[in-house]
Chain A
C-alpha cells in the first residue's frame, strides 16, 4: 500500500514544495537575466539600436506611473473586446460544429467554407468592419469573433467525432439516443480539442483586438500604442505592449488551468 500512496501523491495536485519550485524557478531566472540584459543595454549593443527605439525597463515603469489612468481605461476597453469576441466566436463555432455532427448535409456544405475561413487573414476585413460598425468596440468584437470562430468549428468537429470505437460500441449497446451520446461521449472526448482551439483563440483574440485598433479606433490599448509609437513616446508604447502581453498570457493560463481541471485525463498530461 505504501507504493500506492506515493503514486497517489504524484498524481494528485499536491506536489511537494521543491517540485513546485522546479516549475517556477527556471522561467523566473530567465526573466531576471532578460531584464538585466535589457536594463544594462547589452541588448542595445548587440542589435545596434538606441534607447529611444527600445526604452529601458526603468523608463517604461516611469511611463506606466505617469499615465496609469489611461493605461487602465485602455486595458479594460481592449479586454472587453477580446473576451467578448472570443466567447461569441467560440460558442458560435461550437454550435456550428454540433450542427455538423447531427446534420451531415450542413457539414458537407459549410465545413469546407469554415475550414478555409480559418485561412483568411482577418486583418483584411478591418477596413470594412470599421465602415459598418464604426470606431467603437463592436468593430473589434466582430473582428475577434470572426478570428476565433473558424478554429473552434474545425477543432470542435474533430473532437466531437474522434471517438474511441469501443466507447461508441458501448453507447450503442445501451441504446443511447443522440443527446445522451452527446453528453456522455462526444462532449468529454471533444474537450481536449475544444481547449486547443480556445488556447489558439486567446492569442488570436488579444492580437486581433489590438491590431484592429491600430487602424482607427476611438479607444483601447492598441490606439494608445499606435499613437505613442507615432509621437515617439516609445516608453509608453512599450507599457501598452507589456500590458497586452500580460493580458494575453493571463487569459492563456486561465484557459490552461481550466483545461487541467476539466480534462485531467489527457495523455499529454501523463507523460
Chain B
C-alpha cells in the first residue's frame, strides 16, 4: 500500500480509507523493517560469489590469468576471511580515523550552528559570508592538505581540522534554512506574547531548526569521515586512508585485503551515520517519520 507521509496525518489520495496503525508489537515491527534489506544484501553477496567463481573457473591458482581475475574481483569468501585475519590492523586504523573524525565533527557542528545563528540575525553578515561559506566547500580539501600539513605539522590536529572544515558547511546551510523556515503563525503567536528576540529563538526558531540540523548532521557525519581519510591519504601515518594506500602495495592479485578494508570503511561510515540517526530519534522525536503508522 502506498503511504504518503503528510505533515499532519496519513492520507493516501489514490486509495482511502485510512490505514489503521499497526497493531503488531515492537520486535515484530523491527523485524519487518530489517528483513527486506537483509535479503537484498544476501542476494548481492550470492551474486558476487557466483560471478567471482565464474571468472576464475578453470584457471589454476597462482597463474597469471588467475591472479588477473582476483585483481579485478576477489571472491567474497576470501575477502571476509582477509577481514577476520587482519582484524587487529583494521580495527586499529578504524579507531585512529573515527576518533579524530568524531572530534572534528563535534567541533564543526558547534561552529556551523553558531555561524547559522549569527547569519540569521544579521542579513549583512549573511550576505557577506554566505558566498565564502559555499566556496569553502568547493575548495578541494585534498589540495589544501599538504599546505595544512606545513602549517599544522602534527597529524592528529590536522585530521580534526579537516573534519571540522567539511562538517560546518552542511550544518550552517541547513540550520540557517531551518531558522528561517518558521511557521508564520507561530511567529505571530510569539508577537502576541510580546516575546523578546532571544525567546523567539529558543522557543520557536531553534526547535524548528533542529530537524534541519539533524538532517545536515547525517550528511556531515560522512563529510567528517571523508575529511579524516583524505588528510591521511596526503601524508598520514595511521588510519584508514593510510591503509587504503598501503593495501594497494600487495602482490599482484592479492586484492582481498583491499576489498576487506573498503568493506570496513563502508561499515565505519554506516556506524557513524546510525549513531547520528539514533541521536536524532532521541532529540527530535516529533518528526512525522517517527510516528507510529
Contact = CB atoms under 8 A, between A and B. Distances in A.
B273 A109 contact: no
Contact of B226 (A123, A206, A240, A241): A123
A164 B4 CA distance: 9
Contact of A120 (B39, B151, B270): B270
Given A105-B36, A211-B140, A161 B262 contact: no
Contact of B270 (A119, A131, A132, A234): A119
A104 B181 contact: no
Contact of A27 (B128, B151, B259): B128
Interface stretch (B10-18, B82-90, B105-113, B190-198): B10-18
Contact of B229 (A113, A123, A246): A123
Interface stretch (B54-62, B129-137, B154-162): B129-137
B147 interface: yes
B3 A200 contact: no
Given A108-B36, A113-B40, A229-B146, A176 B13 contact: yes
A11 B40 CA distance: 50
Given A22-B127, A108-B33, A245 B2 contact: no
B140 A171 contact: no
Interface residues of B, number: 76
B265 A124 contact: yes
A127 B258 contact: yes
Contacts of B25: none
B40 A109 contact: yes
A268 to B, nearest CB: 5
A53 interface: yes
Given A165-B11, A177-B14, A125 B262 contact: yes
Contact of A185 (B5, B13, B139): B13
Given A113-B41, A168-B4, A53 B147 contact: yes
A237 B143 CA distance: 8
A178 B12 CA distance: 11
Contact of A119 (B5, B39, B127, B269): B269
A27 B134 contact: no
B36 A244 contact: no
B37 A110 contact: yes
Nearest to A155: B215
Given A49-B150, A123-B230, A127-B244, A27 B131 contact: yes
Query: Chain B binding site: helix, strand, loop or mixed by DSSP?
Result: helix
A89 interface: no
B143 A30 contact: no
Interface in A144-176: 151, 158, 161-165, 168-172, 176
Which residue, of B4, B41, B128, has the highest number of chain A Cβ atoms within 10 A? B4
Nearest to B6: A165
A210 B143 contact: yes
B9 A245 contact: no
Contacts of A234: 147
A234 B137 CA distance: 20
B16 A116 contact: no
Given A127-B248, A178-B14, A121 B226 contact: yes
B225 interface: yes
B78 interface: no
Given A101-B2, A121-B229, A222-B140, A267 B181 contact: yes
Contacts of A119: 218, 221-222, 269-270, 272-273
Interface in A10-60: 22-23, 26-27, 29-31, 47-49, 53-54
Contacts of A158: 5
Q: Which 4 A-B pairs have the closest CB atoms?
A: A248-B138, A119-B273, A26-B128, A171-B13
Given A124-B244, A128-B258, A206-B138, 4 more contacts: A30-B128, A108-B32, A128-B259, A168-B6
